[in-house]
Amino acid sequence: MSLLSLLFVLATAYLAVFLEAAFGGFRHLVGVQLDLLPPLMVYAALSGGMLTITVLAVAGGLLLDSISVNPLGVSVLPLIAVGVVIYGGRELILRDQRFAQLVLGLAASTAVPALTLIILMTTGHKPLLGWGTLWQLAVMGVGGALVTPPCFHLFARLERALVHSRAPETSFRADREIRRGRS
């Protein structure tokens, strides 16, 4: 992943956190605020390297925690954990298949809030838990699953439009001599 692609991911993370904070229409309608960072982490883990995963998790997690009630830094570890797990199995994942993107988006968008809850409970905080928590996890998972394929589509279009692709290698070798005629 190039530096420009990393900047695209970070700018999108900033925009996603801003949209989560500024527009609460979905939150007031359904009672759940969608987290857009796990779908970005799925893209970063399948398209980038460990540097991309770490930078996105730290920057996005700190941005998200700065506007939420969570203690600062509590969202970083779940984002890194999800990114590392997906990165570890990325050779086996069909990255361009919509179904794989949906499943990974569902898993990541459910795992990040669940891991955040576990971290909050183990550090002595008392989050509100109940049957509504299951509803919130389900809506966040389905919402993240639906956001993940457009995320891949958006970044593919940005890559095609703004990032130069590498020239394909030819089978011709410049140091090779071709002898013609009789010898």
49 closest CA partner among 82, 84, 92: 84
> What one-character DSSP code corresponds to residue 169?
P
Tens digit of each residue's pLDDT (9 = 90 or more) over 75-126: 999 999 999 999 999 988 888 899 999 999 999 999 999 999 999 999 888 8
pLDDT value of position 41? 96
pLDDT band at 159 (very low <50, low <70, confident <90, very high): confident
The mean pLDDT of the chain is: 90
pLDDT of residue 183: 59
Helices and strands, counts by H and E, the chain? 7, 0
**pLDDT, tens digit, for every residue of 116-144?**
999 999 988 888 888 889 999 999 999 99
d(CA 3, CA 16): 20
Residue 84: its pLDDT value, please? Answer: 96
* Reported confidence tier of residue 170, pLDDT bands at 50, 70, 90: confident
> Residue-wise over 155-174: b if at least 16 C-beta within 10 A, else e?
beebbeeeeeeeeeeeeeee
